[in-house]
Structure 1
Amino acid sequence: MKKKSLVRDVYAVIPLVFSGALCIALIFLLNQKAASTPEFVAQLKNLSTLFISISGFIALLIMVYLASATLRLKSSKEVAVDHLSSFTQKMHNFRSIIELLLRSKMWLPGLKEYIDDEYEGLTFFEVKEFYKGKSKLAIEFLQESHNYEDTENLYLEMKSLLMTGTKDKRISENIPYPKAYSRDIVEKWLEHKSGSGLWYYFGYKFAIFKEYLDYNAVFERHQEKIMGLANAIDSEHFEDSSFNEVFLSRLGEYMTKQVIPKLYQFQDASGKGLPGIMKYMYAIFLCLTLFGVLLPLGSLLFTLPILALIISFSFVVSTIFFIATTFYQFLSKEISE
């Protein structure tokens, strides 16, 4: 990967080097010709008006493009923010459900104390990333023979959903529901499919785990609250559901496949800055305006030395050369990203 990145960087620098060399060469050659041929100076001055017009027209087109692209970007960001708000609320509701389940009596006796006390500070993410060697506690946990029929992993997974930061080691008594979730924690939920444990334990493998996960032990009032929260997440999807293993399995699958990925997607969309193509076009616009319009115009108005016109012509020509040699490559990069 590093080798590919290095090659890509070299390919990006080569056109810039050649453009710079072309600019210097043009300045040198045109200056030499202007010094040896007085008629050439008059030709440059006569062409300057046409040069300013062409540069100004191209700069104007780019400015119109940038303005329209900015409006489109603003509109798409507003849509993304609206969606982000909706999916953030869905995540709030899901975490409320997880909190009720986590603090219920559906777990095997002693499991909570075992995880919260004996493995205090251990997180689901550390267990999933044990191979990185960052947590000795995670390695110890995986090597230990537990007496909770693997439900300790589901418990850890649920705890991870109540965290709001990747560095959190324990959950607080009062679970926070932030206005916006940090990108890092959502990325971790997505990476490790936090929530899919509900589908696995209550769906795919429920025949094995039904003796160890007594969802009927959840207080009835909490069951009703959970169903209300689920309907707030998606009333159509959970319309005919009742509190049982099928519902819990569907909930985990829905959140893992529908909500958390889209939460991440809309976070990404709403947090993006200017696209690379707009920065690229703005750089071209700036070059054309400064060296294709303002500098030659200033040269004519204030009777600057002919070198000013030569620099202007050379810089714009080298800029056009740079565009011609990099635009396709730049578009390919933008599409691939």
Structure 2
Amino acid sequence: MALKLLDPAAICLPKVQIMAKSYKKDILTIVPLIFSGLLCIGLFFLLWQKSQTDPEFAPLLQNINTTITYISAIFGAVIMVYLAANVLTVKTNRDQLLSQLRRVTDQMNSFRDIVELLLRSKMWLPGLKEYIDDEYEGLTFFEVKEFYKGKSKLAIEFLQESHNYEDTENLYLELKSLLYNSARDKRINENISHPKIYDKRLLEKWLEHKCGSGLWYYFGYKYSIYKEALNLNNVYERHQDKIMKLALSIDNEAFEDSSFNEVFLSKLGEYMSNEILPKLYQFQEGFDKKLPRMVRYLYAIFAVLIIFGVLLPLVASLLQLSMIFSIVSVSVIIALVFFIATSFYQFLVSESTRMQG
């Protein structure tokens, strides 16, 4: 299979754009936070100085603190109800996502079983397995596809060498990569595992290099060229039957009228690269997501409101603590209001952009 040269700039550019967006998002959060912190400190010193010079300031501060306590308690209760409802919604969505993830993971595991049977079969040209596994031991499909990075001398040597296996060595390497358990693996295990959760970096590598599409390329698009080098008749009949049963377990509707031949393998490879892998990555990525940023943002506000707007004034009043605690409460809550006023709109804009993207 011809290797398509990739422009390193085209690969680096999206990463740079992502870093730039992340940096901008951090700035929009950090700047209001810094100014709010400075406001809090400034208010604290001003109020403390006022309390030392004005005897009538203490009752006024107490009234302000009482008002802040009521307002903080009300807003805290509203936020708490919203957070509880949101968390329940997230849990329901995660339960549904988990069911979908288990289904597509089972499909991937069945596909890997098929790949293992093909890889260990005798359909390959004599000497190919030994050539790849021994002479190029430790070479991976990912290294061959990423030769331009210059990280693997073995990959460059492999590409410069003239092979005698009619280009099927690339398909062999690709199928081997589909049996890895980690993106760092160099060899496949004797017993292929069926993970419940796949390594995220490995999924990204499979998607990046369209692993699985080699079956479509060799047995579909270019089968007339490779049919002499890939003898499907050499696959044991019992293994053919097992492969078809596994295919039906993947998608009974898609493969119900299929039989073991090049058309089936081409269709299987296309199904793998277009259906299974993208969904597996999508569902696993969705399941691994943290709570929405809106929930975390509101929880932080809720925590500050309850601690400094409700608990601190109540404790200070009950225990008749120093006026400094009331000053801290007022300063923090006013600074919090300033932070919300300066950050909430930008936060909503960034969240809306993220959801649309």
> Does 2:309 correspond to 1:309?
no
Deviation at 1:224, TM superposition (A): 1.4
Partner of 1:236, secondary structure, is: helix
Deviation at 1:165, TM superposition (A): 1.6
Deviation at 1:216, TM superposition (A): 2.6
Equivalent in the alignment of 1:263: 280
Equivalent in the alignment of 2:233: 216
Partner of 2:254, secondary structure, is: coil
TM-score (norm 1): 0.94
Equivalent in the alignment of 2:203: 186
Say which of 176, 190, 196 aligns to 1:159: 176
> Does 2:95 correspond to 1:78?
yes
Deviation at 1:233, TM superposition (A): 0.1
Equivalent in the alignment of 2:296: 279
Superposed counterparts of 1:60-209, under 5 Å: 60-209=77-226
TM-score (norm 2): 0.89
* Letter of the structure 1 residue corresponding to residue 57 of structure 2: F
Equivalent in the alignment of 1:295: 312
Deviation at 1:313, TM superposition (A): 1.1
Say which of 238, 244, 247 aligns to 1:227: 244
Deviation at 1:103, TM superposition (A): 1.5
Gap change, CA 1:89 and 1:3, over 3 Å in 2: closer
Distance in 1 separating the partners of 2:123 and 2:343:
62
Judge conservation of contact 2:183–2:201 (CA < 8 Å) in 1.
Answer: yes
Distance in 2 separating the partners of 1:86 and 1:233:
9
Deviation at 1:60, TM superposition (A): 1.0
Deviation at 1:7, TM superposition (A): 4.9
Which stretch of structure 1 is more off in the superposition, 187-196 or 300-309? 300-309
Residues 118-148 of structure 1: CA deviation (Å, up to 9, x unaligned): 1111111111111222211111001111111
* Letter of the structure 2 residue corresponding to residue 94 of structure 1: F
Deviation at 1:247, TM superposition (A): 1.1
* Letter of the structure 2 residue corresponding to residue 39 of structure 1: E
Distance in 2 separating the partners of 1:126 and 1:279:
40
Gap change, CA 1:132 and 1:15, over 3 Å in 2: same
Deviation at 1:254, TM superposition (A): 0.7
Distance in 2 separating the partners of 1:14 and 1:257:
43
Residues 8-46 of structure 1: CA deviation (Å, up to 9, x unaligned): 444432212211121122222223333333333222222
Distance in 2 separating the partners of 1:35 and 1:168:
69
- Consecutive unaligned residues of structure 2, counting only runs of 5 or more, are 1-15
Distance in 1 separating the partners of 2:24 and 2:76:
32
Deviation at 1:186, TM superposition (A): 1.9
> Does 2:325 correspond to 1:328?
no
Judge conservation of contact 2:36–2:335 (CA < 8 Å) in 1.
Answer: yes
* Letter of the structure 2 residue corresponding to residue 263 of structure 1: L
Residues 248-302 of structure 1: CA deviation (Å, up to 9, x unaligned): 1111111111111111112112222333222221111111011111111122222
Partner of 1:38, secondary structure, is: coil
- Consecutive unaligned residues of structure 1, counting only runs of 5 or more, are none
Equivalent in the alignment of 1:44: 61
Judge conservation of contact 2:28–2:346 (CA < 8 Å) in 1.
Answer: no
Judge conservation of contact 2:69–2:310 (CA < 8 Å) in 1.
Answer: yes
Distance in 1 separating the partners of 2:348 and 2:81:
20
Deviation at 1:334, TM superposition (A): 3.5
Deviation at 1:95, TM superposition (A): 0.8
Q: Number of paired residues?
A: 337
Alpha-carbon RMSD across the aligned residues, in angstroms, is 1.8
Distance in 2 separating the partners of 1:12 and 1:314:
20
Deviation at 1:174, TM superposition (A): 2.3
